[in-house]
Each structure stands twice: as structure tokens, then as C-alpha cells.
Amino acid sequence: MKPMAPLTITGGKLLTGSGEPTAGAIRCEGDHITAVGDVAAQDGDRTVDAKGKIVMPGIIDLGVFEIDKPAFHFGGVTRAALMPDQPPPLDYPARVRFAASFGKPDFWVHPIAAATRGLEGNELPELGLMKDAGAKAVSSGRKWITDSGVMLRVLQYAAMLGLPFISHAEDAGIAGGAVATDGETATRLGLASAPAEAEALAVMRDVTLAEMAGAHLHIRQVTTAAALDIVRKAKDRGVRVTCGVTPAHFMLSDIAVNGFLTFARLSPPLRAESDRRAVLAALADGTIDVVASGHDPRGPEDKRLPFADAAPGMAGAETLLPLTLQLVRDGVIDMTRMAQLLCVNPAKILGVPAGRLEAGLEADIAIVDPDRPWIVDSDRMEAQAGNTPFDKQPVQGRALALFKGGMDVKV
Amino acid sequence: MSDTPPSPSTRYPAGGQAFPHKDLTGISDLPPWQILYLLDEAEQWVALNRQRNKHVDVLAGLTIINAFFENSTRTLLSFEIAGKRLGADVVNMHAAQSSVKKGETLIDTATTLNAMRADAIVIRHASSGAVRLIADKVDCPVLNAGDGRHEHPTQALLDALTMRQWMRSRGSEEFTGLKVAICGDILHSRVARSNVLLLTALGADVRVCAPPALMPAAIEQMRVSAYTNFDEAIDDVDVVMMLRLQNERMSGPFIPSAREYRHLYGLTQTRLKRAAPHALVMHPGPMNRGVEIDSDVADHLERSAITTQVEMGVAIRMACLDVLTRRARGIEGWEALS
């Protein structure tokens, strides 16, 4: 491949990851950013005029189930951390190595190693070798490790390797078999449900064990007021705990499943309105560190089923950016914080040199029109399947251009 | 019992406006007057079923498929008799042992039934919402004969018809203020949900009673009062409706044992004395005698309406099949729904 000419993006508002958008330009050579701010294009540069739009780091989607490039590129995502719940699970170094190279060159996958063999919750896999093969974190996947002894040993091992542990916080004893959260909706529909406290219990245990082990715990989705309180207090104590959420849990409450809508069957399930409001508050006060898509495209064979028989999950890569921008429009967060939630913090947690517009970092850049209106249409999505609970909903914000390592993905 | 049931024609909107639904998937879709419409429609079939000749030809030439994805004896038989008494060709599909086991999806099964040009499909399925899913995919009317823990609308209708007949014999047919206690495994019961929806819609004062592990969360939001103490729950009630306790829930995960359940939640003669002196005893069947209900209560000639419920079941199902097939039969005033 012949070397690319340096790239200069001018005329945009730079959302670098520290501070609100400011007018400026950015110049990249090879696959790295070389200058940010008051820079001019040099002779022979490819120049792109951002026309006053936002120029921000490519989104790093922390915790997806499928490498679905067209959907990620549509959504301004340049990197994704892949959950270990793959067929077969990412519990073997060769699988991790394959996953790590899967999206290159125009998309980077950061594999998350399975915390236990086959994600069964019993035996340790070769975490050290998987780290060398490219794993950036360790996770129990969609499940919670029920055996606290196993969990402690995994956390100690992850701490020794310097890998964060990404947990799914639902107490299996209470939430086992549940497909909805306790409340009027589940009771009226006759859906097996579990109390919201199932999440708080799991978070409390995981935080306690992580603190003992000195591990970095990242809870991929915290969706209830009680569990957010536990995270908030743990952070105040100085525990290395971070947490995330997906837009579904700050946009929707459990009433969205009325009519047995399987596109709204998620794990953890959609919660009560009071919990949704607690999530908004936690996004505003900094308790929540990451917003991710949880991208999990599922076709009709998984979704056109009775609610309890349908697979959980939603295709979220395309709606991640506009729905997070909605938080900015609603005054919940500012643009700086949005960049932290989507780019800066995920990069920090995974330990990858990206997520900011800064000289020396990988040139992963998105040009975003934060106001551009469009309508989500599950029949016409880039994703492998259109299972979105936001079908037919008008949204605002779209990635107009995307560069991965200085290379044009779409312009 | 009064001999002069009210005439449906004078109390409801004309023609198809009286029941503007393609399917009967749940009581939750029905405003109170549509519930009463179905009850009133059933009265004529109660009368027919008590004659020697129990056959009419209103559904002659129509095919009704009873697709039961979950085992059933009573409900299936009741629907089969209802269809046959109306003159329809009734076919039973025991899907619990059919291609569903071979991995065919529910939608494919539904499409297949539709292609066979059924004129009505009656469905029972173990998953909440499954009947609605099928109803949206087929052209003909679909009747819910029980979906998971969600709804069992014909059971609630037949229970209401039973209660109304009983009230009429006591000189009233007003559900408002009627005190009904529904006791047993409320959590897993579609019968309880449909009855709660129907009875509260008609203004009854409904109490539900269950051990904590078998009580759904936020049930008060369905406009009922919840009790864990059975004696308090049945205090002064007009109707005691007992639910069946499934065998697999009797020992271990939900309650300790059948005899402890009887001790705390069984309807005995002694306990029944706490209810109103005239109180009616109901049970959707099949009963666990000596567990949730004692034999001397279940068989009590004046108090128990359990066999009447079975009788009303056939009439209600005839009414539902008749009403829902009127559009296909081209009955005057019953134009296709837009």
C-alpha cells in the first residue's frame, strides 16, 4: 500500500476530549495525529473542510457482541471492545488473536477475554497468554459469576495482569429465569421478573471482591438507583470501580416492553422510570463513566418469538451517538462529558492510545453534525439486524465522515 | 335463577360495533361493556345447553382449529364441545407432541394453520404473549385459551357468568361492590390475572391472597388489595375463588409442603365460615383435594359453583366463537374491521 499523504482537517470545532468544542484544525501523518489546534495544511496534504461541524475522536464502544463494521462506521465508532460471548467463547489465546485482527485496517477490535473457561464460571483460562494475544480486559460476559470464590481468584489474577474486569451485575439466584424487572408492567404481562435489587446485590459483591483483590472493576451496565448508589460510594472510598450504561436504559423504562415487544427485551431488563431518572442523575454527576451500545444485532429467528423465548439484546451502534447527543440537548451533560463517556474513558479503561484528539495518538477521527435529523428505521439499518427499540423514532446527530488511523473510512 | 336474560340487542351498539375486535387475546383489551356483551351473548347458549337437542348450525361449514401447545384436558374439551354444538368442524392439534418439538417456529406453525384456511384458531401456549404473536400473523380470529402467566380470558368470562347467575338468583346482577377473594398461586396464574382485570373493570372489590413467594410484584397497581394471611383475605367476602397449586411448586422452592400449604392456605369448612354466610366457592379446576380445597367444601351443594363453572365454560366459548366469526360469516352489520 502506498503511503497516504498527510491529512489535515480544517474548519471544524475540535472536541478533543478535554474542554468544550473550539475552532481549530488537526493534522495527521501516517496513522497518527501530529498537531492539534492552530495548525495549517501543508503542501501535498489531503485537506478536508469540516464546515463548522464537530471534529471528535472516533467513538470507542466498550462491550459489543458482534463486529458489525457497517453499523459501527455509520455510528462514528472506530474501535470496539468485543465481549467474550462468541461462538466459541474467547477463552483461548488463538481466538483472541484472531478477534484482535478481525476488523483491521479500518476498524479495530479490542477483544475481551473470557474470565472462565467456556464462560461457565468455574475454571481460569489462560488469561496471561490471552493478554499477550491482544486481550484488553477480562469479562464474565452476559453472565454473572455465581461462585464468589471463583470470582475472587479471577479478580486477583486480572489485577496481577493489569487487566480490568468487566462484569454483568445481576445476582443469578434472584434474577435467574427473569426476563423483566419487577413492577406493574411485568405483572400485567405475566412475565417472569426479578427485583431491581438483584443488580445492587451483584454490584455490592463484585465491588467488595474487587477491593479485596485490588482489581479494576468495570460494571458494563448499571441501571438501578440502588446499584448506582453503591458505585458512587465505592468511588468516594477510592475503590477502582467504573461503570457504564447503554442509551436504552437512559431513554426507556419498562413500559417499552408493553405489547411483548421483543426488541425491548434487554439484559439487564428495562427498569422502572425512577431507575431511569437515577441513571440520568448518575450520568450528570459523573458516577457513570461510559456510554456504550451493547451492539447485539439479532434477526427474526432470535426475536420473532414469545417475549420470554426471545434473545435479549439490541442493535445499538447506529443510535449510540445521536441518543448520547440527546443528553447534551436535554442539558444532562455537556459536550466535554459526552466525549469522556464515548471516547476518553473507554480508552482509559482499555488502556489504548486513543480516545482524544492529541498529538501522538492514533488518528481516529469523526466529523459529526450534532443536529442533523434522521429517523431510525429498523428495516433500513446498516447493522446485520434491525432489532432496535427506537424504531421510527426521530433522532439528531450523525457522523458525516470517519477516519481510522488517518485512513478515510467514509468522507 | 331468573328466566329472562337481558336482550343484547337493546343495550349495545348495533352490529359489529358491539365487539370491534378480530381476536380475543385478553380481558385487558375489553372495556366493561364489551365484557358484559359477551356475558349477555352467552345466556342463549346456557339455555341451549340445557335442552335435549344441543345443536345449532350457525357455524356450519367453518373449521375451528384448537392448537394446544401446552397440555390441557378441560379447556380443550370445552372448546371442542362449544365448536361442535355450533355446527363447526373442529380439529384438535396437540402441538405439545408435534412438529413444534422438531424445532418449527411458532410463526411457521401459525402460518401453516392459516394456510389451511381455519375460520378460527384457539390457542394455548406456555409463553406469555405467544397468542398475540400468532394472532398478528393470521387472518382468522384467534382465541386465547391461556398464554403463560398472562391471560386466560374465557376462564374469567365463564367465572363472571357463573357469579352473575348466582347473584341473579339472589336478586341482583351488579358486580359493583361484590367482594371477591382470589387465593393461591397468583404469581404463575393467568386465571388470576384475567379475573382481576375483568372483576375490577366491572367494579368488584378484589382481594388476592398468596404466600409471599407466589405473589407478583406491584400487584396493587392492578387495583386489588394483596394479602398473605388467608383468614384476613376471606373475611366477609361474597366469593372465594381458589386456584390450583401446581404439583411441582408444592414442595421445595416456593412452599415447604402440601400439608403446610393446606394449613395456611387451604379452604376448609372452618375457614369458609369467615367469609359471608352466603359466600360462593369457585375453583377453575383441576382441584387438588385436600391441598388448596377440602372435599366437603368443593362438593358443598349450596356453596360450591365448581361444576357450574364448567357448564358456563361451554356457553362462554360458544358465545366467543359465534361473535368472533360473525364477520367471516357475513352477518349483517358485522363488516370487516378496518
- CATH value at residue B205: 3.40.50.1370
The C-alpha of B129 sits at a distance from chain A's nearest C-alpha, in angstroms, of 6
Residue B190 sits at the chain A interface (C-beta within 8 Å) = yes
Q: Both B178 and B266 in a single domain?
A: yes
Question: In CATH, what number is assigned to the domain containing residue A344?
Answer: 3.20.20.140
Residue A153, beta-bridge partner list: none
B124 touches chain A (CB under 8 A): no
Decide if B1 is inside a domain: no
B244 is in an annotated binding site: yes
For residues A146 and A266, membership in a common domain is answered with yes
Beta strands in A53-129 (DSSP E): 54-57, 59-64, 77-82, 108-114
pLDDT of residue B271: 97
Percent of chain B with pLDDT over 70: 94
The alpha carbon of A371 is separated from its chain's Cα centroid by a whole number of angstroms, namely 22
Our CA-based measurement puts residue B24 at a distance from the nearest CA of chain A, in whole angstroms, of 15
Q: For residue B97, is pLDDT > 70? A: no
Task: Quote the Cα angle for A264-A266-A272, to 5°.
Answer: 75
Percent of chain A at pLDDT exceeding 90: 97
CB contact under 8 A, B105 and A305: yes
Give me the pLDDT at residue A281, please.
98
B74 is in an annotated binding site: yes
Average pLDDT over residues B30-48: 97
Q: Do residues B160 and B288 share a domain?
A: yes
CA–CA separation, B159 and A259 (whole Å): 26
Query: Is B124 annotated as a binding-site member?
Result: yes
Identity of the residue numbered A305: L
**Does residue A373 share a domain with residue A341?**
no
Q: Grid coordinates standing for A141?
A: 460476559
Closest residue in chain A to residue B103, using alpha carbons only: A301
| Cell numbers given for A93 | 489465546
* B271 annotated as belonging to a binding site for a ligand: no
Contact between chains at B150 and A186 (C-beta distance less than 8 A) = no
Structural domain includes residue B243: yes
pLDDT, one tens digit per residue, over A290-301 is: 999 999 999 999
Predicted confidence band of residue B167 (pLDDT cuts 50, 70, 90): very high
Summarised one tens digit per residue, pLDDT across range A315-355 is: 999 999 999 999 999 999 999 999 999 999 999 999 999 99
Please determine, for residue B133, whether its predicted confidence score (pLDDT) is greater than 70.
yes
Note whether A304 contacts B221, CB cutoff 8 Å. no
Q: Is B288 found in the same domain as B238?
A: yes
Are A306 and B130 in contact (CB < 8 Å)?
Answer: yes
Nearest to B127 among A187, A188, A308 (CB): A308
**Are A49 and A63 part of one and the same domain?**
no
Residue B44, C-alpha cell as written in the block: 342463549
- Is the Cβ pair A304, B133 closer than 8 Å? yes
Q: Nearest residue on chain B to A196, judged by CA atoms?
A: B217
Nearest residue in A to B215, CA atom: A187
**Burial class (CB within 10 angstroms; exposed 0-12, middle 13-18, buried 19+) of B62:** buried
Contact: B28, A188; criterion CB under 8 Å:
yes
What would the DSSP string read from start to end of A251-318? H--GGGGTTT-GGG--SSPP--HHHHHHHHHHHHHT---EE--------HHHHSS-GGGSPP----TT
The answer to whether position A217 is within a domain reads yes
Q: Quick one: which H or E segment has residue A10?
A: strand A7-14
pLDDT level of residue A124 (50, 70, 90 thresholds): very high
Q: Cβ separation of A190 and B147 shorter than 8 Å?
A: yes
Give the minimum alpha-carbon distance from B220 to chain A in angstroms, rounded to a whole number: 8
| Interchain CB contact of A237 with B (< 8 Å) | no
Nearest to A182 among B128, B130, B217 (CB): B217
Q: A278 and A344 share a domain?
A: yes
- Answer whether residue B93 shows pLDDT above 70: yes
Interface of B with A in 310-329 (CB under 8 A): none
B28 plus B102 within the same structural domain? yes
- Is B286 a known ligand-binding residue? yes
- Could you tell me if B29 and B64 lie in one domain? yes
Name the grid cell of B282: 369457585
CATH of the domain at A20: 2.30.40.10
* CA-to-CA separations, A96 to A89, A112, A118, A139, A157, in angstroms, rounded: 9, 8, 13, 13, 18
Residues B163 and B82 in one domain: no
Which residues pair with residue B90 across a beta bridge? B64
Give the Cα separation of B321 and B144 in Å (integer).
11
Q: Average model confidence (pLDDT) for chain A? A: 96
Please indicate if any CB of chain A lies within 8 Å of the CB of B128.
Answer: yes
Same domain, A32 and A124: no
The answer to whether the annotation marks B262 as part of a ligand binding site is no
Residue pLDDT, tens place only, B98-118: 556 566 788 888 899 999 999
pLDDT surpasses 80 at B96 = no
Residue B5 predicted with pLDDT over 60: no
Dist. CA B11–CA B319, nearest whole Å: 17
Residue B7 has pLDDT above 60, yes or no: no
On whether both A293 and A316 belong to a single domain, the answer is yes
Residue A77's domain comprises: 58-350
A189 touches chain B (CB under 8 A): yes
**Residue B334 located in a structural domain:** no
Residue B3 reports pLDDT greater than 60? no
Residues of chain A with Cβ-Cβ distance to B219 below 8 Å are 187
**Across residues B42-51, what is the average pLDDT?**
97
Dist CA B336 CA A396 (whole Å): 41
Residue B10 has pLDDT above 90, yes or no: no
CA–CA gap between residue A255 and residue A181 (Å, rounded): 10
Q: Which helix (H) or strand (E) holds A8?
A: strand A7-14
Q: Which of A181, A260, A265, A304 to mutate to test the interface with B (most CBs of B within 10 A)?
A: A260
Terminal C-alpha separation, chain B:
40
Note whether residue A160 is domain-resident: yes
Res B337 pLDDT > 60: yes
Q: What total of structural domains would you count in chain A?
A: 2
* Tally of structural domains, chain B: 2
CA distance B157 to chain A (A): 18
> Could you report the per-residue pLDDT of A150-206, keeping only the tens digit for each?
999 999 999 999 999 999 999 999 998 999 999 999 999 999 999 999 999 999 999
Instruction: Give me the pLDDT at residue B101, please.
Output: 59
Same domain, B137 and B25: yes
Query: Chain A residue closest to B193 (CA)?
Result: A188
Contact across the interface for A190 and B107, Cβ inside 8 Å: no
Q: Which of B127, B147, B155, B208 to mutate to test the interface with A (most CBs of A within 10 A)?
A: B127
What the block records as the C-alpha cell of B297 is 367444601
Asked if A305 has any chain B CB less than 8 Å from its own CB, the reply is: yes
Residue with cell 470507542: A60
In a shared domain, residues A222 and A244 = yes
A274-293, pLDDT tens digit by residue?
A: 999 999 999 999 999 999 99
Taking an 8 Å cut-off on Cβ atoms, the answer to whether A305 and B221 are in contact is: no
Q: pLDDT tens, B214-237?
A: 999 999 999 999 999 999 999 999
**Is A190 in Cβ contact with B190 (below 8 Å)?**
yes
| C-beta separation of A244 from A222 below 8 A | yes
Same domain, B133 and B218: no
Q: Out of A187, A195, A304, whose CB is closest to B222?
A: A187
Cβ distance A306 to B128 under 8 Å? yes
pLDDT higher than 60, residue A2: no
B85: annotated binding-site residue?
no
How far, in Å, are A124, A291, A342 from residue A313 at the CA level? 27, 16, 20
Task: Determine whether B107 is exposed, middle or buried from the number of CB atoms within 10 Å of its CB (0-12, 13-18, 19+).
Answer: middle
In a domain, B4, yes or no: no
pLDDT of residue B9: 56
Q: List the single range of A230-234, A372-376, B93-97, B167-171 with lowest mean pLDDT.
A: B93-97
Question: Which grid coordinates are listed for A409?
Answer: 473510512
> Are B131 and B254 part of one and the same domain?
no
Assess whether the previous peptide bond of A88 is cis (omega < 30° from 0): yes
Question: Is the domain of B206 the same as that of B316?
Answer: no
| pLDDT tens profile B189-221 | 999 999 999 999 999 999 999 999 999 999 999
> Of A271, A330, A277, A267, nearest to A302 (Cα)?
A267
Write the single-letter amino acid at B223: R
Specify whether A12 is located in the same domain as A161: no
Measured between CB atoms, which of B150, B190, B218 is closest to A182?
B218
Q: Which of B107, B128, B217 lies closest to A304 in CB terms?
A: B107
Q: Confirm whether B120 is domain-assigned.
A: yes
Query: Are B126 and B173 in the same domain?
Result: no
pLDDT band at B2 (very low <50, low <70, confident <90, very high): very low
Helix (H, G, I), strand (E, B) or coil at A173: helix
Beta strand segments in chain B, E: 63-68, 89-94, 120-125, 142-147, 179-183, 205-209, 225-227, 239-242, 280-282
Domain that holds residue B39: 9-151+311-329
Secondary structure class of B50 (helix, strand, coil): coil
Residue B103 has a pLDDT of 64
Residues A189, B105: C-beta atoms closer than 8 Å: no
Check whether B132 is labelled as a binding-site residue: no
Short-list A244, A252, A335, A262, CA closest to A303: A262
Contacts of B129 in chain A (CB under 8 A): 189, 191, 260, 306-308
Nearest-Cα distance to chain A for B131, in Å, is: 9
Evaluate whether B282 touches B25 at the Cβ level (below 8 Å).
no
Residue B149 touches partner A, C-beta closer than 8 Å: yes
The answer to whether residues B102 and B181 belong to one domain is no
Cβ–Cβ pairs < 8 A, chains A and B: 69
B148 neighbourhood in chain A, CB within 8 Å = 190, 306, 308
* Grid coordinates given for B182: 382470589
The pairs formed by B252-256 with CB atoms below 8 angstroms and a separation of 24 or more are B253/B213, B254/B185, B254/B211, B254/B213, B254/B214, B255/B211, B255/B213, B255/B214
Residues A204 and A157 in one domain: yes
| CA–CA distance, A410 with A367 (Å, rounded to integer) | 10
Q: Which residues of B touch A184 (CB under 8 A)?
A: 218, 221-222
B249 vs B231: CA distance, rounded Å: 22
Which positions of B are annotated as active-site residues?
74-75, 102, 124, 152
Q: Does B216 touch chain A (CB under 8 A)?
A: yes
Q: Which residues contact A374 (CB under 8 A, 6 or more apart)?
A: A322, A394, A395, A396, A398
**DSSP class of residue B292?**
T
Give the chain B residue whose CA is nearest to the CA of A259.
B129
Return d(Cα A84, Cα A100) in angstroms, integer.
12
Same domain membership, residue A375 and residue A251: no
Q: Are residues A88 and A188 in the same domain?
A: yes
pLDDT one-digit tens code per residue, A346-402: 999 999 999 999 999 999 999 999 999 999 999 999 999 999 999 999 999 999 999
| Average pLDDT of the segment spanning B37-57 | 97
Nearest CA in chain A to B223: A184
Quickly state the pLDDT bin for B253 (edges 50, 70, 90): confident
- Angle, CA of A262, A382 and A220, to the nearest 5°: 55
pLDDT at B95: 75
Query: Is a pLDDT exceeding 90 seen at residue B181?
Result: yes
**What backbone torsions phi and psi does residue A354 show, to the nearest 5 degrees?**
-160, -170
Mean per-residue pLDDT, B241-268: 88
A132 plus A224 within the same structural domain? yes
Helices B74-85, B32-49: crossing angle, 10 deg rounding: 70
pTM: 0.93
Provide the CB-side half-sphere exposure for A146 (13 A, CA): 6
